[in-house]
Amino acid sequence: MTSRTPIVDPFGRRIHYVRLSVTDRCNFRCVYCMPCEETQFMPRKELLTFEEIERLTRVLAEMGVDRIRLTGGEPTVRRGFLELIERMARAKSSGLRELSMTTNGWNLAEIAEPLRAAGLTRLNISIDTLNRDRFYELTQRDRLVDVLRGIDKVTAMGWLPLKLNVVVCKGVNEEEVADFVQHFAHLPVVIRFIEYMAFGESKFEMVPWRKSKARLDARFTLDPVGGPEGSGPADYWTVRGTEVTVGSIGALSSQFCSNCNRVRITADGELRNCLAYEPDALSLRDVLRSGADDTDLEWAIRGAILRKPFSHIQHEDGQHSFEGTMVSIGG
């Protein structure tokens, strides 16, 4: 196994977690992620190939990256996705400890077992409402029942910890925060409430975690606890009388940039150090297709990460929205 020195950014933060988008396409049309039907998707030839993703995964693992999360769009809509999981899982011999995925859960009841067999280690499921009509309004798809079936399937398999991601938006789903805990009270799931981060011309407003927690405190007793493996920047509480663990990701009200340990790679291979605007993002696709060897690739990555900023610029007021759309950047 090739060993390379760890990746360190200009502020001494070790980078060992990568969110890698494998497609910008999605079979849902969540209004805060893909704001219009006219979204222009990347041509297939511009996407990283399976061979390029496998090579990139191996080199990153040799550089000390031990966690990769697959994102989109919706990762499972990419043709041959199970083969991609198998290819990437080979990097575990190079030090990759966790290969996880964020999914909308649309077909999880059918593919959960094949995903785990292929080498995926953990799942995050995005679900922002338990109300069927509201689910349709948010996603433009009537698939809430399918997502809930997928959650039941994963927990029945004992494939834990399972994280449910809930983006809380003012006037949309903020009243459902406690309902989520009540609905899943019998399941050993981690429900993470995430502050909405504005992209482009946003129609939504974030709800600070302190307000969501007040809603939870009004109905439940929460006890602080350490997070599960791979918990990242979230804070966690167990909920008395339930199997649920609650997490908060206060990216705006409790900015955690000083401990940032991650970068993103878009489906077409751009390395993005931050969700904030990055005009000079490195195209890993171009490096991979230029004939570069693994050492060239390694040093291109290191050079790009030396441009990583200390923090993003968005705060609670949402005035500094990030450019682009979430679906094009990767979750």
Report the pLDDT averaged over residues 195-203.
Answer: 70
Mean pLDDT of the chain: 89
Average pLDDT over residues 214-225: 97
Other Cβ atoms closer than 10 A to 96: 23
Could you give the percent of the chain with pLDDT greater than 90?
A: 74
Strand, helix or coil for residue 101: strand
Q: Which two tokens stand for residue 302?
A: 């290191």
| Residue 25 backbone dihedrals phi, psi, to 5 degrees | -95, 150
Nearest Cα residue to 177 out of 101, 86, 239, 226:
239
- For a pLDDT cut of 70, what percent of the chain falls above it? 85
Domain range annotation of the chain: 7-329
Domain at 7-329, CATH class: alpha beta
Which pLDDT band, with edges at 50, 70 and 90, does 196 fall under?
confident
DSSP string, 170-194: TTTTGGGHHHHHHHTTTS-EEEEEE
Q: Side chain identity at 226, as an amino acid letter?
A: G
Q: Is the pLDDT of residue 289 over 90?
A: yes
The CA-to-CA distance between both ends of the chain, in Å, stands at 31
Q: How confident is the model at residue 242 (pLDDT cuts 50, 70, 90)?
A: very high
- Asked if residue 82 lies in contact with residue 118, where contact means CB atoms within 8 angstroms, the answer is yes
Indicate if the pLDDT at residue 257 is higher than 70: yes
**Distance between CA atoms of residues 178 and 213, nearest Å:** 9
SS3 290: coil
40: pLDDT confidence band, cut at 50, 70 and 90? confident
* Full DSSP string of 140-171: SS--HHHHHHHHHHHHHTT---EEEEEEEBTT
How many whole angstroms separate alpha carbon 254 and alpha carbon 315?
9
Q: Which two tokens stand for residue 24?
A: 């910008």
Task: State yes or no: pLDDT of 204 exceeds 90.
Answer: no
HSE-up (13 A, CA, CB side) for residue 77 = 17
Tell which residue, 24, 27, 25, 34, has the closest CA to residue 203: 34
Amino acid at 102: T
Report, as an integer, the average pLDDT of 247-267.
80
At residue 206, does pLDDT exceed 60? Answer: yes
Q: What is the pLDDT of residue 311?
A: 75
The predicted model gives 157-177 an average pLDDT of 96
| CB-based contact 18:265 (threshold 8 Å) | yes
Q: Using DSSP, state whether 103 is helix, strand or coil.
A: strand
User: Which residues are 276's β-sheet partners?
Assistant: none
Structure confidence by residue, pLDDT tens digits, 83-141: 999 999 998 888 999 999 999 999 999 999 999 999 999 999 999 999 999 999 999 99
User: How far is Cα 77 from Cα 303, in angstroms, rounded to an integer?
Assistant: 33
Across residues 33-47, what is the average pLDDT?
A: 79
Structure tokens at 210: 């302190």
- Confidence tier at 316 by pLDDT (50, 70, 90): very low
Q: With a cut of 80, say whether residue 230 has pLDDT above it.
A: no
| Cis omega (within 30 of 0) for bond into 161 | yes
CA-to-CA distance for 148 and 291, rounded, in angstroms?
46
Residues sharing a CB contact under 8 Å with residue 124, sequence separation 6 or more, in sequence order:
69, 100, 101, 102, 103, 163, 164, 165
**Residue 199 — pLDDT band, cuts 50, 70, 90?**
low
